[in-house]
Amino acid sequence: MKLRLLLVEDDPVLLEMTSSALETEGFAVRAAADGNEGFKAALAESPDLIISDIMLPGLSGFELCRRLREKGLRIPIIFLSGEKKAEIDRIVGLELGADDYLLKPFGPRELIARIHAVLRRARPEAPTGEELAFEDFRFNFKKKTAFKGDREIALTAKEFGLLAFLAAHENEVVGREAILNEVWGYEKFPTTRTVDTFVHKLRQKIEKDPSRPVHLLTVPWLGYKFRK
C-alpha cells in the first residue's frame, strides 16, 4: 500500500514538480496550496508524512506544525525553506516538533532520501512484537488469539487489525481515514462510518464498561486513540 504524503507549498511550479517526482517514486501525494488547506487535510486524512514550506498564505508552516502538535498529532514533518534566516528557521522548526529541514533549492533525490530517513525513524514498532497485554487481556496478532483471563474472546480478523494498528500508535490520535487506509483500504469501504462501527464492536469485547471506555478513546472531530 502506498505511503501517503501531504505536500503544502504555495509555489505552483514547485508544487507540481515535487508532486510529480514523489508520485514517480511511488508515494500517494495530497497537495495543498496554503497553510489552512494543509491543516484541514492533515486533520482529515492523517498522512504518513507532511512536507511543508514555512512561508505560506494563511497559516505558516510553523503555525501548522504547532497546531498539529497541540492536538497530539505526531505526523512526521519536513520543513522546506529559502536561504533567508535559514539557521533560525531550522532551529525554530525543530523546537516546534518538526522532524527534518531542507533548504531550497533541493533535488528530488535528496528530498526522497530525507523522507525515507524520517519515516524509518518514525515507524512504530509492533506493540510487544506479536503480542499485546493489558489488565487481564492478552492478544496474539500472529496467531489471532485473544483472552480475558482464561476465557478466549472471539475477534474477527478486521478487529485484530484495528486493535493492532491503534496499539502500534499507542497514545497517539489516529484519524478515521488513516485507519480505513491501513486496515481496510479506501477502495473497499468508502465511508469512515465503518471505523466507528468496528470500534463500537471492539469496545463491547475489551472494555469493562463500553459506554465509558478507557482503552479505545474517541477524540472528537479527529479520530481515535488507544491507551493501555
Are residues 118 and 163 located together in one domain of the fold? no
For the chain, how many structural domains are there in total? 2
Are residues 9 and 107 located together in one domain of the fold? yes
pLDDT of residue 129: 56
Q: What is the DSSP code (8-state) at residue 174?
A: B
Percentages (nearest 5) of helix, strand, coil residues in the chain: 40, 20, 40
Domain assignment of residue 195, given as a range: 131-226
At residue 124, the 3 state secondary structure works out as: coil
pLDDT tens digits, one per residue of 1-58: 678 999 999 999 999 999 999 999 889 999 999 999 999 999 988 899 999 999 999 9
What is the spatial distance between Cα 73 and Cα 90, in angstroms, rounded to a whole number? Answer: 20
DSSP H helical segments within the chain, as ranges? 12-24, 35-45, 61-70, 86-96, 108-122, 157-168, 176-179, 193-206
**Averaged over 100-124, what is the pLDDT?**
83
CATH, residue 222: 1.10.10.10
pLDDT of residue 50: 96
CATH, residue 108: 3.40.50.2300
The domain boundary, picked from 122, 149, 178, lies at 122
Instruction: Cell numbers for 9, please give them.
Output: 507549498
Are residues 112 and 148 located together in one domain of the fold? no
pLDDT of residue 173: 87
The domain boundary, picked from 65, 94, 122, lies at 122
In the predicted model, is pLDDT for residue 86 greater than 60? Answer: no
pTM of the model: 0.58
What is the spatial distance between Cα 22 and Cα 162, in angstroms, rounded to a whole number? Answer: 28
Are residues 100 and 141 located together in one domain of the fold? no
Split at pLDDT 50, 70, 90, the class of 63 is very high
First CA to last CA across the chain, in angstroms?
Answer: 28
